[in-house]
Structure 1
Amino acid sequence: MDLDIHGETASEIAESFRALTERGILRPGDALPPVRALAEALGVNRNTAVAAYRQLTVAGVVESRGRAGTRVIERAPVAQEGFAADSVLRDVGTGNPDPAWIPDIATALATAAGRPVLYGEPVVDAGLERWARQWMSADLGRDVRITVTSGAADAVERLLAQSLTRDDAVALEDPCFLASIHTVRLAGYRPVAVPIDEEGMTVAGLRAALEQGVRAVVHTPRAQNPTGASVTAERATQLRAVLAEHPYVLVIEDDHFSMLSRQPFVSIVGANHRRWALVRSVSKFLGPDMCLAVTASDPDTADRLAMRLTPGTTWVSHLLQRLTHALVTDTTSRAQIDAAGSHYAARNRAFAERATSAGLPARARDGLSLWVELPIAARTVAERLMRRGWLVRSGDDFSLSGDDSSHHVRLTVHDLDDADAERLIADLVAAVGRDATPRTEVG
């Protein structure tokens, strides 16, 4: 063992390793000595060496790879939503709402002003809280506690953090929303994939995940990103029956499309489930810069979440809360939001019908984008489309397995005019080309 490692206690040994990583002597991917070899070299009990490695794992410095040993963590980049930087290509993979359909905040800004809010005051604006409680309770059919966070991703991160520790297992949809993949990876949780079909999260997949000991489930009730799937009433009943056997598993429902959705909200949280949260962001209908989400949850989860939102550190600006409340209670703004939802649905449906007529079967579900199945590998199609001037989002970005085998692309096409939509479809058909052969379904 050539590394300059020293220490007699687990903490001293762990600190020695951390110093080596900070100085760049141990780099991402490098293997640490086997536990037995480390213990013998330092003259300590094997359990002391195990405890040192456990401390490093909890701190996010190393990860165990089974027979491959313990290695310094490699922080691979995670795909992000939004426009591609410095690209001359027409970007149809953004996942963005159309700015033309976002309500103008000018009038509401005057309403949002008012007196300054000082330290020690309630962290949730009273008006927004009353409105949000009524909105969420009506869909959940129960009384709720309301918490406000800086967007849905912030809410999910805080909800997981107050319930889990590193290496805890989390059930995620597969394919999965990019922000959820990013959150779980950075926090060091262990993702367990639950397949998605046209009716949402599969029953067998959820059951298998719970059998693997997941401590939390992140679920999208409608407009699942990227597939657009929405859970049906029948599927929700089946999922609630599975979850009934695990009442203390935290269930997070990310209803990100909420006001824009053309599908009814159906919850998978049963009446007797003990740990749950429904998160609704305003970013899709008020714009991504309105970083605010409201979370309805059980009292214990609300208390834990509130502990991480204390005044003076991380509470959401009351100006932003008042502005949100002014917009969502304004008749004109609400009408525009509803019209926006109809616009997205109509444009996606028109594109899917054109694509199907051109020999590329597609179906518009719910959400800002389309999830289009291809007869050949998505990476191949994406590369060919780049040569034709298009930038698309390959389904591989959303895969929890991290492989390159996806046969799907996610397309954000609601802002294309008819001519551009026809051109994209023609280029898609050409990109698939003569490589297209019928796929054999497995299972």
Structure 2
Amino acid sequence: MAKERISAKDIQRALIWRISNGVYHPGETLPPVRKLAEEFGANRNTVNKACQELRKLGLLEMRTDRRSPVVTRIATTTAPLEYVRQQARDVVWQAMSAGITRQQLLADITALIEEVYGERDLTIRFLECNAYDSTTLSHDLSRLTGVPIGAGLLDELRQNADAFAQTYDLIVTTFHHLAEVSQALASYKERVIGVDTRPSPESLLRIARLTKPRIGLVCTLPNTARSLEYTILSYQPTAQVITALIDAHEEVSHLARSCDHLVVTHNCVPALAKLTNRQPDVVIEFRIDDQSIEYLKQRIRAIRHGMTMAHAQRSVS
């Protein structure tokens, strides 16, 4: 009989890794045993044995309306931590009996922890043309995905695109800059993701409440101006929308003097205050579209799944 390429304990470790890293979320049903067996290169009995051990630890449970185990929250039980402590205690006794010193064991275990835990941290960078948007939107992405996402500027690509791409698992930017980033990282397009940003509901409500026909719009980029002009006209179809980019100082000053209402993107507010004494009627804040968030979550899960499989294969070999 052929020897199993992967043991129940290996599968158990891999499933714990997936659960703790969000590949499988609490309340989510695991894939069918058949599919897991194919992924791990094991038979179904081995997968079932691993799942039974995880049910004992409180990480999985069987429900009458589900054919496969359902993930529970790790925080609801102390069993996983106690299990790890028992395993660690056995390892320490084995090391002591083998004559391994405390310092050597501590160093080796620390290195092993760094090796394993280091694999679980995704490196994701969000790029925008200005620091305000980059900081605000990357914070929103981190909160909504549950994964740390660093804020960066498009200028980083111009320094060394290859080194930049190799540093991160994913590079995220808005649709406004997706073509630029994809071109700069042409050899790493699979790592680039675009997200759609739209005016916040509060911003749209303020636009809808404008009552006069001549509306001035100030923003930073031509494509942003075109997009926002369309949005304003969808709420104010009889209005006349006049746009100016914040760098065109004379146009901005003239627009502020001549328009009934002034609509400004949030990142232009400080510069507008230096150019004119007029306060904007609407300051547009941007939020990331829900579908973009879901797609980003899917990509994160896919990458983590690949990392899990690679880790499991290394454990077997």
Q: TM-score per shorter chain, which class? A: under 0.3
User: Which structure: larger Rg?
Assistant: 2
Structure that is richer in helix per residue: 2
**TM-score normalised by L of structure 1:** 0.20
